[in-house]
Amino acid sequence: MNVSWEAKIGLVLLALATFLNGLLYLMYHDVNHIILWGLTNLAFLPISVLFVSLILDSFMEKRARLQKMDKLNMLIGTFFSVAGTRMLRFFAEWDLHHGEICATMTDKKSWSDKHLFNEMKEILHHRTFRIDDEKTDLTLLRDFIVPHTDFMIRLLENSHILEHESFTHLLRSAFHLAEELKARDNLEALSEKDRLHLGRDIERVYGHLAISWVDYMDHLHKEFPYLFSFALRINPFDKDASAIVH
């Protein structure tokens, strides 16, 4: 018969307990002592269960969650390396309040103090993202984002990504924008209403993208200083950004 590994371990432990109790009887020849010792251990069993179920399981769950977040942040980092950072650069240049957002996102003090990341996220969460339709180059955006749709679909297929709600919203909104741009043959001859519609799609992606980028920068600042240094040097909100170290 095929015996599961759990049953095998149970039989081994049962045999070990029988052996040890037999050894105690040979040493002391006192059955009452063995029974008393067994009842004492049973009395502490609930405490042992409490320790294992609440403390140890909580520790293991936290460790598993941290490992999952590491994998998730690796995927998010890949997205920004492949498409996100350049896309964010486009949107920042087309921002109706370009000077305001760039000043906020390039403030050296904000990036040097880990406590200011939360303040920056709070600002972005309450900010209304608006695109200047006159500056927006829809053809440039389409030629960039459409070739990356397969990459975004593959990210959405990853189970780790689906557990990150805000980043999932970003990918879905970016994929929708790509589909909208791809569906139009001539982006230079759009009606005003259609151009405004695409502008709102861009603003939706822009908002999700900016917040996700700051979240990712916060992660790099805490865990990977050398990656944070590079990401800060190519800050998409800084028009003078350069990967070259000065």
Greater model confidence, 43 or 99: 99
User: From CA 217, how far away is CA 225, in angstroms rounded?
Assistant: 10
b/e code 181-197 from CB counts within 10 Å (16+ = b): beeeeebeeeeeeeeee
**Beta-sheet strands, E only, within the chain:** none
pLDDT score, position 25: 78
pLDDT at res. 95: 93
Please state the φ and ψ torsions of residue 95, each to the nearest 5 degrees. -60, 135
Q: What's CA 178's distance to the chain center, in Å?
A: 23
Q: What is the pLDDT of residue 131?
A: 92
Residue 198 CA to residue 60 CA, distance in Å, equals 46
Contact 130, 95 (CB under 8 A): yes
pLDDT of residue 1: 57
What's the rounded mean pLDDT across residues 51-62? Answer: 73
Distance CA 31, CA 67 (A): 50
The most confident of 27-31, 175-179, 235-239, by mean pLDDT: 175-179
Q: State residue 197's pLDDT score.
A: 93
Distance, in Å, from the CA atom of 182 to the CA atom of 175, rounded to the nearest integer, reads 10
Contacts of 104 (CB under 8 A, 6+ apart): 110, 120, 123, 237
pLDDT, one tens digit per residue, over 64-123 is 777 778 888 888 999 999 999 999 999 999 999 988 888 888 876 667 776 778 888 888
What is the reported pLDDT for 37? 77
How high is the pLDDT of residue 242?
A: 86
Nearest residue to 76 via CA among 129, 176, 151: 151
Which is higher by pLDDT, 75 or 24? Answer: 75
Could you report the per-residue pLDDT of 213-238, keeping only the tens digit for each?
A: 999 999 899 889 999 999 999 999 98
The encoded tokens of residue 153 equal 């679909």
Higher pLDDT, 32 or 149: 149
CA distances 188 to 38, 132, 178, 192, Å, are 85, 16, 16, 11
Q: How does pLDDT run across 120-169, given as a tens digit for each residue? A: 888 888 889 999 988 899 999 999 999 999 998 888 888 777 778 889 99
pLDDT at 203: 95
What amino acid occupies position 205? Answer: V
Residue 163 near residue 157, CB atoms below 8 Å:
no
Distance in angstroms (rounded) separating the CA atoms of residues 37 and 136: 80
Can you tell me the distance from the alpha carbon of 139 to that of 63, in angstroms, rounded to the nearest whole number?
Answer: 46
Which tokens belong to 214? Answer: 């700051």
Query: Are the C-beta atoms of 76 and 168 separated by less than 8 Å?
Result: no
Vertex 164 angle, CA 204 and 147, to 5°:
55
Average pLDDT over residues 194-213: 94
Residues 173 and 184: their CA atoms lie apart, in Å, by 17
